[in-house]
Amino acid sequence: MSNWWKHGIVYQVYPRSFQDADGDGVGDLAGITDRLPYLADLGVDAVWISPIYPSPMADFGYDVADYTGVHELFGTLDDADQLIESAHDLGLKVILDYVVNHSSHQHPWFQESRSSRDNPKRDWYFWKDPGPDGGPPTNWVSRFGGGSAWEFDEQTGQYYLHTYLAEQPDLNWGNADLRRAMLDVLRFWMDRGVDGFRVDVAYRAMVAPQWRDNPPNPDWQEGMDPYRKLQETYTKNLPDAHVVGRMLRDVVDEYDDRVLIGEVTLPVDRLMAFYGENADEYHLPFNFNLIHSDWTADSVREHVDDYEQHVPTTGWPNYVLGNHDQHRFASRVGPEQARVGHMLLLTLRGTPTIYYGDELGMPDGRIPPEMVQDPWELKTPGLGLGRDPARTPMQWSKAPHAGFCPPDAEPWLPVGPDANVINVEVQQQEASSMLSLTKRLIALRRENPALHAGPYRSFDTPEGVFAYARQSPEDDTDRFLIALNFTAETQTWALPDGLHGTVEASARYGRRDDTVRGILALRPNDGLVIRVDHAP
């Protein structure tokens, strides 16, 4: 077991938006394959690709119509094989998205299930009679838009459950045949060489739900996501999710050296349960703490300290700053702090995940109302929930459409307005660019186990500064100090007495090889990775 995922860095690709090789304005597998050398050069270890399967695209692939195929927009199974082979040749792993909670309403399983009450696949989904008042069986609401999570089907006179869109009926993991079919999907892809899975909404999978109304959420106010009107007592984080987690892990463990990542949006104490009581569920339950934290030194330190204290000794930490469901990190915290944030991400213990384009500091794209694609924005416009801004094409160069697709093609979402300055080609030539910073940090992390695996200890510092020490996982050698200035003012911090070191990387560039001792002055929005030469 090499446990590559412990020291590795995961890079998330949203396949529609990475590289369009065939000129239809939508990214594809051949495009990703073409760009693998870029990822290898960046120094990441694995590429996680959001869903590539046949799908009517009601939720851009998170509505799967065939778990063992490839959408024609993205290519063919041969293209998938080619991608896996090329990635492996370059030393990169491939992680696929596995949509555990629901399929598409166009999946043949659902088509059969809805065809009659006594169809053998009826029970592969959740079908219920109307409630006593003739309406939906429970008050559960759909994640997108806050309407009922139940859709009435005229043909058979029953409702089916859909936690997300009506086009995304929930799968019943209580049914043994469904389970077998879904678990075989994992084997299908691992047999083709896939190195692991990111399990979509892993904390929602249901085996034997109680059909009870969810209580109202007293904190809900007008202007908030309507879906949050109710608490989710009976719809998420049920013991069922752990039953399913263990089943998935059992299958993943049939193969060598694969990784199981779970999308679990829960507070830290409940997140920990997804490692499994006997370390038998997810290797990495996604830690969204840094996404949900206020971007201040105090708040971020609190989150990291808290998380570090909770991760079980049999578990492994992980961190992420952005993904396809959130506003871009650079837009949330600003371009200067985006650099500080990546210094943090790449110097913490555990496995970091980088969202495509974040290594350049790509901000949210601008989506004119007539170009909105995301069903969430279409259902609840104007609340800032839309996810299109974070899904705009990767910015490769100054070429038309930022090099994402051929000049005569029309990208499916508009290219960001700043693509002329924020792109790979330009940033590769600038030693001070965010891309160069990310590469430097990745290289440092790879060379120094202290930075990816060593213990973490934070310091009490003046407000606005977050500082922590890392050292070799084996002994107290190979020590590093990371000091991050979360403010737009200069900050000073008196280093521990007698400590001196050498700067290995600075978030704002230009301080490499500086010697530091005594009072450390941090420029506005700067951060330093310091190799400790001497400590008391």
Residue ranges in contact with ligand NOJ by CB under 6 A? 59, 62, 99, 164, 200-201, 263, 324-325
531 to 452, 466, 497, 512, 524: CA distances (angstroms): 14, 17, 16, 11, 21
- What's the min distance (Å) between Cβ of 456 and ligand NOJ? 28
320 to 129, 149, 230, 528: CA distances (angstroms): 42, 30, 28, 20
- What's the min distance (Å) between Cβ of 254 and ligand NOJ? 26
Judged by DSSP in three states, 262 sits in strand
- What's the min distance (Å) between Cβ of 90 and ligand NOJ? 26
Q: Which is nearer to ligand NOJ, 49 or 422 (CB)?
A: 49
Please tell me the distance from the alpha carbon of residue 159 to that of residue 146, in angstroms, as a whole number. 17
- What's the min distance (Å) between Cβ of 100 and ligand NOJ? 9
The per-residue DSSP string of 430-452 comes to -TTSHHHHHHHHHHHHHH-HHHH
Q: Which is nearer to ligand NOJ, 39 or 202 (CB)?
A: 202
φ/ψ of 128, rounded to 5, equals: -140, 150
- What's the min distance (Å) between Cβ of 145 and ligand NOJ? 12
- Active site annotation includes 254: yes
User: Which entry of 79, 200, 240, 281 is annotated as an active-site residue?
Assistant: 200
Nearest residue to 300 via CA among 271, 324, 263, 329: 329
- What's the min distance (Å) between Cβ of 377 and ligand NOJ? 12
376 to 58, 144, 165, 204, 489: CA distances (angstroms): 10, 5, 9, 18, 38
Please tell me the distance from the alpha carbon of residue 193 to that of residue 258, in angstroms, as a whole number. 10
Q: Which is nearer to ligand NOJ, 14 or 480 (CB)?
A: 14
How many helices (H) and strands (E) in the chain?
15, 19
Q: Which is nearer to ligand NOJ, 289 or 485 (CB)?
A: 289
Give the pairing of strands 46-49 and 480-485.
Answer: unpaired
Q: Which is nearer to ligand NOJ, 22 or 325 (CB)?
A: 325
Q: Which is nearer to ligand NOJ, 317 or 322 (CB)?
A: 322
- What's the min distance (Å) between Cβ of 324 and ligand NOJ? 6
- What's the min distance (Å) between Cβ of 164 and ligand NOJ? 5
Instruction: Report the half-sphere exposure of 339 (CA within 13 A, side-chain side).
Output: 24
Give me the helices (H) in 116-238, please. Answer: 176-191
Identify the helix (H) or strand (E) that includes residue 150.
strand 150-153
User: Which residue is closest to ligand NOJ by CB?
Assistant: 62
- Active site annotation includes 200: yes
Q: Which is nearer to ligand NOJ, 375 or 501 (CB)?
A: 375
User: Which entry of 89, 184, 213, 254 is annotated as an active-site residue?
Assistant: 254
Please tell me the distance from the alpha carbon of residue 30 to that of residue 22, in angstroms, as a whole number. 8
Neighbours of 524 (CB within 10 A): 13
- What's the min distance (Å) between Cβ of 121 and ligand NOJ? 21
Torsion of CA 201, 205, 197, 319, to 10 degrees: 40
Determine contact, residues 65/102, Cβ cutoff 8 Å: no
Q: Which is nearer to ligand NOJ, 13 or 99 (CB)?
A: 99
- Give every CB contact of residue 465 below 8 A, 6+ residues apart in sequence: 297, 483, 484, 485, 486, 491, 493, 522
φ/ψ of 65, rounded to 5, equals: -100, -10
Identify the helix (H) or strand (E) that includes residue 10.
strand 10-13
Nearest residue to 232 via CA among 141, 168, 164, 128: 141
491: left (phi over 0), alpha (psi -120 to 50) or beta: beta
- What's the min distance (Å) between Cβ of 228 and ligand NOJ? 16
Q: Which is nearer to ligand NOJ, 200 or 336 (CB)?
A: 200
Determine contact, residues 482/527, Cβ cutoff 8 Å: yes
Neighbours of 29 (CB within 10 A): 28
Within 269-411, strands assigned E span 284-285, 318-320, 351-355
Q: Which is nearer to ligand NOJ, 168 or 485 (CB)?
A: 168
- Enzyme catalytic residues: 200, 254
